[in-house]
Amino acid sequence: MRAVPMKGSVLKGDLRSLDLAAVEAALCFCPSIIAVLLAGYYIFCSRSVHSDFIAANMADQRAVVMQQILDRSCWVCFATDEDDRSAEWVRPCRCRGSTKWVHQACLQRWVDEKQRGNSTARVACPQCNAEYLIVFPKLGPVVYVLDLTDRLISKACPFAAAGIMVGSIYWTAVTYGAVTVMQVVGHKEGLDVMERADPLFLLIGLPTIPVMLILGKMIRWEDYVLRLWRKYSTKLQILNSIFPEPAELAGIGCPVPRIPAEASPLADHVSATRILCGALVFPTIATIVGKLMFSSVNSNLQRTILGGIAFVAIKGAFKVYFKQQQYLRQAHRKILNFPEQEEA
């Protein structure tokens, strides 16, 4: 009978030892648990502080934006919200500050001034050079077709104009070539020659007549003759007897004291027009000179050729002589001293 109480006391002792072991185990693990709890509490506090900071920052930004909206002014008319509260505002570019906002109506007028009636022209901000995003309402099918047709015609007109100009120049050259043939050969003879000729040959050959005349006029053979004259004028006394020097330059002798600079023929803006006019008038002048100087020649073609050669030779001789005298005048040019003024 005593064994029972002994068993009970033993059981109570085991329970007490078990509670002490649990407490000791809890105390052993307590630092890690406390650390975890502190870390969680720190994270919670930091998140709450960060969220409060973000909320405060966003509130400040909203306040700044609202203040900017309230303080906005149009950079075209310099009006503010207080001047016209019903006006529509737009922020069309990357500008900041006072040039950020503009009235829709003011910007529309400014865009109209820049486009000048061309609704497809691109317009950019004058400050930041950002291109404005301009949109239009959708077009109906009929208006779309008309707009597309108008654009195609606008793009095709420059090419059409160029074709018309080239065609006009070509047929003008053909007409000039035909008139020149009849003028040089003779009216009846020229018509007979062109009637017997191949049409393809006429379409190619007649326009080349003014082209060849212009290219021939561009050959400056007088300059080569002038160079030979300057090189051999001292050796050939016959040239000096035929083309004597003026009285102002007589007795000066050669060589010249200096070599003057010669102006380039391309520097004169009149040279191109002179070449064109001289080349196109040359057949008429050759015909007139041929009739005056070689009237005994029966063939119109031979008479015109002889008249052209005579005209070119006479004109070239005078031109060479004139250029040589201008060259000598420039070579003997002198610069005088500035006249001193007498003291009063």
DSSP string for 239-299? HHHHSPPPGGGTT--SS-SS-PPPPPGGG-TTHHHHHHHHHHHHHHHHHHHHHHH-TT---
Higher pLDDT, 340 or 115: 115
Q: Which range scores top for mean pLDDT: 74-78, 310-314, 340-344?
A: 310-314
Above pLDDT 90, what percent of the chain? 32
Confidence check: pLDDT of 1 > 50: no
Least confident of 5-19, 54-68, 82-96, 320-334: 5-19
Contact status, residue 290 vs residue 306, Cβ threshold 8 Å: yes
pTM exceeding the 0.75 threshold for the entire prediction: no
Average pLDDT over residues 218-238: 77
Higher pLDDT, 342 or 290: 290
- pLDDT at residue 183, as a whole number: 92
Q: From CA 21, how far away is CA 220, in angstroms rounded?
A: 126
Confidence check: pLDDT of 71 > 80: no
Q: Is 256 exposed, middle or buried (0-12, 13-18, 19+ CB in 10 A)?
A: middle
What does each C-alpha distance from 130 to 19, 69, 91, 94 come to in angstroms?
Answer: 80, 21, 12, 7
Q: How far is CA 196 from the centre of its chain?
A: 51
According to DSSP, residue 98 is labeled G
192-217 pLDDT, tens digit per residue, is: 999 999 999 999 999 999 999 999 99
99-155 pLDDT, tens digit per residue, is: 788 999 999 999 999 988 888 788 999 888 899 998 888 888 999 899 899 989 999
Among 253, 239, 242, residue whose Cα is nearest residue 328: 253
Above pLDDT 70, what percent of the chain? 69
- pLDDT at residue 70, as a whole number: 57
Torsion of CA 106, 112, 114, 120, to 10 degrees: 130
- pLDDT at residue 9, as a whole number: 44
Options 3.40.190.80, 3.30.40.10, 3.30.420.10, 3.40.50.1980; CATH for 72-136 is 3.30.40.10
- pLDDT at residue 26, as a whole number: 47
Q: From CA 189, how far away is CA 298, in angstroms rounded?
A: 13
Going by pLDDT thresholds of 50, 70 and 90, the confidence category of residue 25 is low
Higher pLDDT, 117 or 70: 117
Confidence check: pLDDT of 314 > 60: yes
**If you write DSSP's letter for every residue of 299-334 in order, what string do you get?**
-HHHHHHHHHHHHHHHHHHHHHHHHHHHHHHHHT--
Domains of the chain, by residue range, sit at 15-70, 72-136, 141-216, 218-333
218-227 pLDDT, tens digit per residue, is: 888 888 888 8
Structure tokens that stand for 45 in this block? 């506090």
